[in-house]
Amino acid sequence: MNERLFGRRELLRGASAVLMAASLPAVARAALDPAEQKFPQITRTLAAELKSIQPSITKHMKLYPCLATLTDGRQIDGVYMVDAGSFLKIDALGDRTVLPLARVAHIEDSPTRLPAKIADQVYGAGEFAMGYYVFTLVFDDGSRLPCRTGDLVDFLDLPSGYAAHKVVRVLPHVGGKIVAPGKPQGHSASAVWCPFRDA
C-alpha cells in the first residue's frame, strides 16, 4: 500500500534554476518556460536508471512508473517520473502529490505496476468516458477482473489474490457495468509525481 509522504502543496524552491536561467542570453531565456524552471534537472545517476524503465505511453506524455529509494533510505512505490513540461499540462495539477527530485537517490521499475504493454493498450483505446477508464484484465490462470480507474491506469489497487505482473491480456472498454456488491474489482491506487527537466 502506498504511503502519502509528501503534502500536495509542497513547493520546489528552484533557486539554482533561476541562477542558471539568469546566466543565459536573453534570446535563449525567452525560449524557456518559467514554470518548468521550478523543477531541477535530472541527475546523471537517475537519468541512467530511468533508461532501464519501460515507460507507459499516453496520448500526451511518457510516464515512468517507479519504485523510488529516497535519500534517507526509505522506499516508496507508486512514483511517476515525468518530464516537467508534460507534468505542467496535467489537468487538476493542484490535486497531484509531488515528490521533490532532490529527495530521490535511486529509481527502479515498479514491481507493482501494470505491465507497460498492457497499460499502453488501455491508454491507446482511450477513456471509457470523460476522466476515467474501464477495462478487464485477464490473468495467467484465465481469471478476469473488471477495473475502473481515474485518468491513469499503471498503479492499481487490486483485490487479494490478484497481481499486476500476472496480467497477460487486457480487454479495453469491457466491464463497464456496475459490479455486484462483494465481487472483486480493480481501482486506481494512490501515486505521487516526481517531475524533472532533462539534463
Q: List CB contacts of 22: < 8 A, sequence separation 6 or more.
A: 29
- pLDDT value at position 30? 37
Main-chain dihedrals φ then ψ at residue 157, nearest 5 degrees: -90, 100
pTM of the complete model: 0.79
- Where are the domains positioned within the chain? 15-112+190-196, 116-188
* pLDDT in 10s for each residue of the chain, 199 residues: 443 444 323 323 332 333 233 333 333 433 455 777 789 999 999 999 999 999 999 988 999 999 999 999 999 999 999 999 999 988 777 778 999 999 999 999 999 999 999 999 999 999 888 888 999 999 999 999 999 999 899 999 999 999 999 999 999 999 877 666 667 888 999 999 999 998 7
Q: What pLDDT, on the 0 to 100 scale, is given for residue 35? A: 75
3-state secondary structure the chain: CCCCCCCCCCCCCCHHHHHHHHCCCHHHHHCCCCCHHHCCECCHHHHHHHCCCCCEECCCCEEEEEEEEECCCCEEEEEEEEEHHHHCCCCCHHHCCECCHHHEEEEEECCCCCCHHHHHHHHHHCCCECCEEEEEEEECCCCEEEEEECCCCCCEECCCCCCHHHEEEEEECCCCCCCCCCCCCEEECCCEEEEEECC
